[in-house]
Amino acid sequence: MATPGEAFVLRPQTPKSQNDAEVEGISAKVKMLKDLTVAIGDEIRDTSTISDLNNTFENTRVRLRGNMNRMLRMAERTGVSWKVWLAFFFAVFLLFFYVWLT
């Protein structure tokens, strides 16, 4: 046990223990980088999926707009307004819904 007047002397580490400490430090940094890389990859996949979904919705919107325009032109050619067609399709829907419930 050290007396009050003695200074504490740090023992020099052995080269093996220094290497082990450095390897542990480097391993921890590599693990952090790996986790960060995996997180970046997940984010890129999610962003790509969202982008694909956005493109799909845009294509669907364009197709629906085209179909609606064709239906309106068809309704104009027949001389029946789109409101009458809407009422007709709604009545057919109600008929199918009623048959489905009973």
Tell me: the pLDDT tens digits for 92-102? 999 999 998 87
How many structural domains is the chain composed of?
A: 1
What pLDDT is stored for residue 19 in this prediction?
84
Model pTM greater than 0.75?
no
- Asked if residue 12 belongs to a domain, the reply is no
Does residue 11 lie within any of the structural domains? no
Please tell me the distance from the alpha carbon of residue 89 to that of residue 95, in angstroms, as a whole number. Answer: 10
From first to last of its 102 residues, what are the pLDDT tens digits of the chain?
555 555 555 555 677 778 888 899 999 999 999 999 999 999 988 888 888 999 999 999 999 999 999 988 887 788 777 788 899 999 999 999 999 887
DSSP letter at 47 equals H
Q: Is position 77 within any domain?
A: yes
Q: What is the pLDDT of residue 38?
A: 94
Tokens 């829907």 sit on residue: 93
With respect to residue 97, please indicate whether it lies within any of the assigned structural domains: yes
Gap between the Cα atoms of 97 and 102, Å rounded: 9
